Amino acid sequence: MNAHIIEVFIEKNCKACSEVLEVIESFVRQYRVSLQVYDRKEHAKVFRERSVVVCPATFVDKRLAFYGAFSSAELSSYLQSDT
């Protein structure tokens, strides 16, 4: 699997956001994946620049990959198809 940059746009106290972070953090430990997390309150400018309205939003290599929750199998499939 090639090195990827995953960016996750979240809100605090969001159950789906927490689930997405758990899925992604397991990939960070297993594969060559870099993770950047943006919180709506702390990173409002980045949210506006990327036109993110719904959380969680997950970008892979600067492209929107998922809105909402997803499984580790879905992430793995996405990362493998993007190589």
pLDDT score of 49: 96
Neighbours of 70 (CB within 10 A): 19
Residue 82 has pLDDT above 70, yes or no: no
Q: Any alpha helices (H) in 31-71, and if so which ranges?
A: 44-50
**14-58 residue pLDDT tens:** 999 999 999 998 888 887 788 999 999 999 999 999 999 999 999
- C-alpha to C-alpha distance for 1 and 19, rounded to whole angstroms: 23
Write the CATH number of the domain with boundaries 4-81: 3.40.30.10
Q: What are phi and psi of 15, to 5 degrees?
A: -60, -45
pTM: 0.89
Spatial distance between the Cα atoms of 81 and 44, rounded to a whole number of angstroms: 31
pLDDT value of residue 13: 93
Q: Is 22 helix (H, G, I), strand (E, B) or coil?
A: helix
